[in-house]
């Protein structure tokens, strides 16, 4: 097979990848290969092996059941993509949710688009399809970006070009991976949003990150409130975890943050004397605080 220059098609989406026939890839010697590659055929589920490069680690069982019900009624509307490996064996490239749901629905065959791909291409396609899904959580997206950089050896600029995302967008997702694992799990389980995570990642102290995370979950603090709180910590270089606050003052600060929907900081001495600081980022927010104090 003559070598040809590989096209940069990832930015155009998975469909461009699947239709690209100019890739320099390893071929499988099989007398039926030319009749299978590039076509959609019904394959027995037992002949399809799992994708060892699958970047996705979390599958919602409830949505899988819903998809299986739909497949029972309407069939598999969009074929999965597999690569030919040897004999009558295939390996999944993309479409694991459809494959899992088909098994739940009791199907024994599934429509499959068959192509040839080497290991790197299989990983690349699985990662790109993963990134383009609408139901991924931010941590999964960040992990997929990180794998494309680490395992495909792409720079952030090259990755930006291939997936059609701004470099700053990619960097924001990848920065979430610096968060404490507990906070990452909180984002994946939707206890907090990506916006909260982007604010928390600016705090280097892991214990402080966790303290703030617990406040967000417990009190339902908005992204704006936590951004203001983090900014206050960074500007004043306050050691949040070591500062002295009596239990009463801590509770008072927490209640005020809920009431005003903004960060409230209190410095106090052992005699109970101190300073109360309420932050605001606009005149409208200040008026909102005043109205709350007045009881309007």
Instruction: Answer yes or no: are the C-beta atoms of 17 and 128 closer than 8 Å.
Output: yes
Domain ranges of the chain: 10-173, 179-294
CATH of domain 10-173: 3.90.1530.30
Q: What is the pLDDT of residues 160-215, one digit of tens each?
A: 887 788 888 888 999 999 999 999 999 988 999 999 999 999 988 888 889 899 98
Across 46-55, 119-128, 175-184, 222-231, least confident range: 119-128
DSSP letter at 176 equals G
Greatest distance between any 2 Cα atoms in the chain: 88
Q: Tell me whether residue 96 is one of the annotated catalytic residues.
A: yes
Extract the runs of DSSP E, i.e. beta strands, from the chain.
Answer: 40-44, 48-49, 80-86, 89-94, 109-115, 264-268, 274-278
Q: What is the pLDDT of residues 203-241, one digit of tens each?
A: 888 888 898 999 899 889 999 989 888 887 766 554 444
100, two tokens: 């899992």
Catalytic residue selected from 26, 61, 91, 96:
96
Q: β-pairing, 109-115 with 80-86?
A: parallel
- Using CA atoms, how far apart are residues 139 and 145, in angstroms rounded to an integer? 10
| Mean of the per-residue pLDDT values of the chain | 77
The band of 132, judged by pLDDT with boundaries at 50, 70 and 90, is: low
- Of 29, 132, 124, 38, the C-alpha closest to 82 is 38
Q: Which of 175, 243, 190 is nearest to 220 (CA)?
A: 190
Is the CA virtual torsion 36, 40, 41, 44 positive or negative?
positive
């Amino acid at each position: 097979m003559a070598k040809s220059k590989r096209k940069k098609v990832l930015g155009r989406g998975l469909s461009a990848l699947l239709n690209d026939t100019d890739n320099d890839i390893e071929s499988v010697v099989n007398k039926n290969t030319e009749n299978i590659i590039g076509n959609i055929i019904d394959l027995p589920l037992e002949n399809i092996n799992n994708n060892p490069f699958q970047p996705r680690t979390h599958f919602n069982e409830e949505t899988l059941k819903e998809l299986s019900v739909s497949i029972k009624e309407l069939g598999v509307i969009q074929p999965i993509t597999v690569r030919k490996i040897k004999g009558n064996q295939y390996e999944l490239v993309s479409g694991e949710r459809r494959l899992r749901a088909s098994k739940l629905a009791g199907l024994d065959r599934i429509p499959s688009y068959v192509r040839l791909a080497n290991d790197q291409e299989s990983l690349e396609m699985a990662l790109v399809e993963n990134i383009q899904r609408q139901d991924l959580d931010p941590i999964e997206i960040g992990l997929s970006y990180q794998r494309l950089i680490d395992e495909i050896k792409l720079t952030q600029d090259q990755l930006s070009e291939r997936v059609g995302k701004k470099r700053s967008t990619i960097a924001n997702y990848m920065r979430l991976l610096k968060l404490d694992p507990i906070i990452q799990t909180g984002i994946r389980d939707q206890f907090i949003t990506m916006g909260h995570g982007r604010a928390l990642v600016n705090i280097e102290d892991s214990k402080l990150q966790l303290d703030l995370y617990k406040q967000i979950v417990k009190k339902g603090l908005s992204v704006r409130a936590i951004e203001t709180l983090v900014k206050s910590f960074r500007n004043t270089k306050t050691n949040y975890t070591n500062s002295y606050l009596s239990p009463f003052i801590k509770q008072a600060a927490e209640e005020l943050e809920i009431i005003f929907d903004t960060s409230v900081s209190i410095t106090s001495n052992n005699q109970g004397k101190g300073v109360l600081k309420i932050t605001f980022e606009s005149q409208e927010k200040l008026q909102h605080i005043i109205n709350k104090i007045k009881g309007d």
